[in-house]
Amino acid sequence: MPSILDSLNAAAPALWLEVSPPRGINPAPLIRRLAALVGHVDAINLTDNALGKVKMSGLVFAAGIKVRLQIPVVLNVSCRDRNRFALKSDLLGAAAIGIDAVVALNGDKIPPGDDGVAIASHDIDASGLLAMIADLNRGDTGEGKPLLKTIPSIVAGAVANPNRKNIEREFDLLARKADAGARFVITQPVFDAETGRRFIAKANSFGIRTMLGILPVKREAMATYLIDRVKDLSGARIHLDRFGGMSEEEVRAISLRENMALMKSLAGEGAGFNIMSGGGPSLAIELALQFSRWRNGDR
C-alpha cells in the first residue's frame, strides 16, 4: 500500500472514504462494513464529532482500522474540543499508533447544554494546530524539553469550502494554512466540475494537493437537512433542491450516476476524491467501489 504522500502525488486519483466513528462502544460492526474497501481505497478519513455530535474517539477507532484492515487512516482533529496540551497529547498518540495523516480543523459549532451554554476550546485554531504538527515532525515538543528521540512523520492537512460565496476569503484562509504547513486540503463536497477546477487551480498555486469532497445523497430528507442545517453548503443549494419530491431509489440512482460522472471528469486534475458518508456508509461505499473499478480499468 503506497504512503499517503505517494497516493496524493500519484498519476491515478487517490480515493479516500470519509466515515464517522460509531456512536457507541462497539467498533466491530462498522469495521466489518469497511472491510469491503480493502484493496479499493487509499485511506479511511475519520471525522471528529462532526456537526457537534459525540462519537467514539477517533484515535481508538483508527487503531482498530489499522490493526484489522491495514488501511491507512487520515484522522480529523478538531481544535474546538481540546486545549493545546490535549491536542499535543493526541498528536503524539496518533504518531504512536501509526496514523498516516492529520487534518487540522476548527470544528463545527456545538449545541448548548442543559444550561443553555455551549463551551468550546479556543486555545489555538487550525493554523496553530498545523504549526504544532510541524514542530512535532521536527522533534520539538514546545515544552522546553529536549527534542523527541523518535520523530513523528504525520502528514498535515486542512479543510476548505469551495462553495463559499466569498471565495476570496476562503482562498486567503487556505494560503495561511499552507504557510502553517498543510500539505493537502480536503474540501467540502463539490457538485460541479467548474467549482472543483477553480479550487484545484488555486490550491496548486499554494503548493497544496486537493482531495475534492464528494457527497452521495441518499434521500430527499438528507438533501433538505443539508440545505437547512449545514451553512457551509448554502452555495450548493441549487444542486440539492432538485431532489425534492423524488423517491429514495431515484435519489440514490441519480446521485451515484452524477457523482461518478463528476469524478471521471475531474480525475487527474487534483490529487483525488474524499467520498463522504453523510450519516451512514452504505452509499459512499457503493460509490467508492464503483470508482475503484473504473480507476483500475474495469470500464
Confidence of residue 43 (pLDDT cuts 50, 70, 90): very high
SS3 at position 41? coil
Which of 11-25, 84-98, 107-121, 238-252 shows the lowest per-residue confidence on average (mean pLDDT)? 107-121
Nearest CA among 16, 11, 1, 3 for reference residue 273:
16
pLDDT tens, residue by residue, 198-209:
999 999 999 999
**Per-residue pLDDT, 283:** 94
Distance CA 101, CA 186 (A): 12
Greater confidence (78 vs 229) lies with: 78
- Do you know the residue count of the chain? 299
Confidence of residue 142 (pLDDT cuts 50, 70, 90): confident
**Can you tell me the distance from the alpha carbon of 173 to that of 108, in angstroms, rounded to the nearest whole number?**
16
Query: The C-alpha cell of 176 is what?
Result: 495561511
Report the C-alpha gap between 151 and 137 in whole angstroms.
6
Domain that holds residue 235: 4-295
Confidence of residue 189 (pLDDT cuts 50, 70, 90): very high
Helix (H) or strand (E) holding 104: strand 101-105
* Candidate from 70-74, 188-192, 218-222, 237-241 with smallest mean pLDDT: 237-241
Q: What is the mean pLDDT of residues 260-275?
A: 96
CATH number at residue 240: 3.20.20.220
The pLDDT of residue 46: 97
- Give residue-wise pLDDT tens across range 148-177: 888 888 999 999 999 888 899 999 999 999
Residue environment code for 207-232, b if the CB has 16+ CB neighbours within 10 A, otherwise e: ebbbbbbbbbbbbbebbeebbeeeeb
- Residue 92: pLDDT band with limits 50, 70, 90: very high
The overall average pLDDT reported for the chain is 90
Q: Is the pLDDT of residue 116 over 60?
A: no
pLDDT at 261: 97
Domain count, the chain: 1
Q: Which of 43-57, 124-138, 155-169, 225-239 has the lowest mean pLDDT?
A: 225-239
From the list 211, 197, 205, the residue with the least C-alpha distance to 171 is 205
* More confident site: 157 or 48: 157
Residue 298 CB contacts under 8 Å (≥ 6 apart), including other chains: none
SS3 181: coil
Model confidence pLDDT, tens digit, residues 209-261: 999 999 998 888 887 877 776 766 766 777 788 888 888 899 899 999 999 99
Per the CB < 8 A criterion, the answer to whether 32 and 100 are in contact is no
Which of 248, 246, 188 minimizes the C-alpha distance to 218? 248
Can you give the pLDDT at residue 193? 95
